[in-house]
Amino acid sequence: MVVEDIELHTRRVLESMKAILESASMRMENVVKVTVYLADLADYSKFNEIYNAYFRTDPLPARTTVGSNLLLGARLEIDAIGYKPT
């Protein structure tokens, strides 16, 4: 379900990411690279505020943010790479 409000949409996407990581016995701290696709770059400030609440590690994951035409009316999409030391 696509959510129109960027703040709620951001939280839902990041909570989904968190759940996926937890299913692999990882946490947000295991994320090393993130690519963020925003349908409207004017949403960046609101997105970034919420994003920063989820990533409080040092160092922060590398991040690229781009504007993109997203499918099905999505406001944002996040692609992340996690690393789990052995």
Give the contacts of 80 (CB within 8 A, at least 6 positions apart): 17, 31, 33, 34, 35, 61
Distance CA 44, CA 2 (A): 18
User: The whole model's pTM is what?
Assistant: 0.89
Name the one residue in this structure whose structure tokens are 């789990």.
84
Query: What pLDDT score does 1 carry?
Result: 54
Query: What pLDDT score does 15 carry?
Result: 97
Give the contacts of 47 (CB within 8 A, at least 6 positions apart): 6, 10, 36, 38, 76
Token output for 51: 């994003």
- Averages of pLDDT over each 10 residues, the chain, 86 residues: 81 96 95 97 96 91 95 92 90
Query: What pLDDT score does 7 carry?
Result: 94
Domains in the chain, start-ordered, CATH in brackets?
A: 6-82 (3.30.1330.40)
